[in-house]
């Protein structure tokens, strides 16, 4: 019983804490609302509570836990354990997350950004098991990713490697949240897709979508529109997935992955047809030798990816710190 770790997944709307055993099975999970408007301190306290409640729920004590892993929105400094800022967490400025959770739990804490830990999870426990080189791309409000090279998560010199959402796919493209133009995030994120649809409807395009607030457009609504052969939604989605494929082609030339894992709320809800658009777009633009045998697959772990990846991160970090 004393070989479990805790994974914490901090999202824009909810926090998930889970006790994870060495086989990667979740023994107990706890959800809390993020309520980011209450400020960093309140959110950090709830993260610690989620961890402690998960441990109690699994019938364990904090001292039985080897370590705590965290997946958090970034950009962040994984070594210092500091969240620099985050678009989804208003008012966060150099928040010392690692110190806070370490103090509250009394256990060693390791952290990384949410997409890096989701990629770790898919590699260790999900669809990427046994694959030594892969990329993970996650479409949410923004676009994030992670890169596994030779069975290790690639962070690079700055520790910010794997920020795949900011791969430029159109030098004259629209402005991205990062200040540049034409990042794939500015052309294929959920936010962009929803905004495009709402604008087109406002300009008189016919569509089954009548929602006028892009922020309120649910993924299920987009999936439904696609199933009903809605021309506008199909057109906007196809263009976005084409751009995603352009990014995949560029990334593949650097990494040469065996597998491309596509995940995140919007992709999980979409049809194989849309995944096919990403794949075709990437194949069309890459050197055949690089792209010929790449497998395009959906992520497998769904909403558990965050806590599982955080647990994998903690175990890997512990193994490193214990080895001579």
Catalytic residues: 114
Cβ atoms 21, 60 nearer than 8 A: no
Report in angstroms how near the CB of residue 5 gets to Zn ion at its nearest: 33
Q: Label the pairing between strands 143-149 and 68-72.
A: unpaired
Report in angstroms how near the CB of residue 165 gets to Zn ion at its nearest: 6
Closer residue to Zn ion, CB minimum distance, 176 or 247: 176
Report in angstroms how near the CB of residue 210 gets to Zn ion at its nearest: 31
Among 54, 118, 183, 225, binds Zn ion (CB under 5 A): 183
Closer residue to Zn ion, CB minimum distance, 9 or 185: 185
Number of Cβ within a 10 Å radius of residue 280 = 14
Give buried/exposed letters for 268-277 (b at 16+ CB in 10 A, else e).
Answer: bbbeeebbeb
CA quadruple 169, 90, 92, 106: dihedral, nearest 10: -110
Q: Is residue 193 at the binding interface for Zn ion, with CB under 5 A as the rule?
A: no
Q: Is residue 178 at the binding interface for Zn ion, with CB under 5 A as the rule?
A: yes
Closer residue to Zn ion, CB minimum distance, 173 or 265: 173
| C-alpha span between 262 and 248 (Å, rounded) | 10
Report in angstroms how near the CB of residue 118 gets to Zn ion at its nearest: 19
Q: Is residue 168 at the binding interface for Zn ion, with CB under 5 A as the rule?
A: no
| C-alpha span between 100 and 40 (Å, rounded) | 11
Among 176, 194, 217, 310, binds Zn ion (CB under 5 A): 176
Q: Is residue 166 at the binding interface for Zn ion, with CB under 5 A as the rule?
A: yes
Closer residue to Zn ion, CB minimum distance, 174 or 302: 174
Beta carbons within 8 Å of 132's beta carbon, 6+ residues apart:
148, 150, 151, 258
The first and second tokens of residue 86, run together, are: 């985050």
Closer residue to Zn ion, CB minimum distance, 34 or 141: 141
Q: Is residue 167 at the binding interface for Zn ion, with CB under 5 A as the rule?
A: no
CA neighbor of 199 nearest in space, from 175, 172, 176, 233: 233
Report in angstroms how near the CB of residue 178 gets to Zn ion at its nearest: 3
| C-alpha span between 113 and 10 (Å, rounded) | 10
The first and second tokens of residue 51, run together, are: 């961890």
Site for Zn ion in 198-227 (CB under 5 A): none
| C-alpha span between 9 and 70 (Å, rounded) | 6
Report in angstroms how near the CB of residue 110 gets to Zn ion at its nearest: 27
Closer residue to Zn ion, CB minimum distance, 18 or 164: 164
From the list 52-60, 103-111, 163-171, 259-267, the region that binds Zn ion by CB under 5 A is 163-171
From the list 117-125, 136-144, 148-156, 177-185, the region that binds Zn ion by CB under 5 A is 177-185
Residue in the block written with tokens 């800022």: 85
Enumerate binding residues for Zn ion (CB under 5 A): 166, 176, 178, 180, 183
């Amino acid at each position: 019983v004393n070989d479990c770790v805790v994974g914490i997944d901090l999202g824009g709307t909810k926090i998930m804490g889970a006790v994870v055993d060495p086989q990667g099975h979740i023994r107990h999970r706890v959800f809390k609302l993020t309520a980011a408007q209450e400020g960093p301190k309140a959110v950090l306290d709830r993260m610690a509570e989620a961890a402690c409640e998960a441990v109690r729920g699994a019938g364990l004590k904090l001292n039985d836990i080897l370590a705590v892993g965290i997946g958090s929105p970034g950009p962040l400094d994984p070594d210092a354990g500091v969240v620099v800022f985050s678009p989804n967490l208003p008012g966060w400025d150099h928040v010392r997350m690692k110190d806070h959770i370490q103090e509250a739990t009394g256990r060693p804490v390791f952290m990384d950004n949410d997409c890096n830990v989701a990629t770790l999870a898919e590699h260790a426990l999900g669809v990427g098991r046994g694959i030594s080189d892969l990329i993970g791309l996650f479409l949410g409000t923004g676009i994030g990713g992670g890169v596994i090279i030779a069975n290790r998560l690639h962070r690079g010199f700055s520790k910010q490697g794997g920020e795949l959402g900011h791969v430029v796919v159109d030098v004259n493209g629209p402005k991205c949240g990062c200040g540049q133009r034409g990042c794939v995030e500015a052309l294929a994120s959920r936010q962009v897709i929803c905004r495009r649809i709402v604008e087109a409807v406002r300009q008189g395009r016919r569509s089954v979508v009548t929602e006028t607030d892009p922020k309120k457009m649910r993924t299920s609504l987009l999936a439904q529109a696609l199933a009903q052969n809605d021309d506008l939604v199909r057109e906007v989605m196809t263009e976005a997935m084409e751009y995603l494929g352009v990014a995949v082609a560029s990334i593949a030339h650097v990494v040469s992955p065996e597998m491309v894992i596509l995940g995140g709320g919007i992709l999980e809800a979409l049809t194989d047809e849309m995944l096919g658009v990403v794949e075709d777009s990437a194949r069309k633009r890459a050197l055949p030798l690089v792209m010929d045998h790449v497998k395009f697959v959906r992520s497998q772990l769904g909403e558990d990816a965050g806590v599982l990846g955080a647990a994998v991160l903690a175990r890997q970090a512990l193994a490193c710190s214990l080895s001579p």
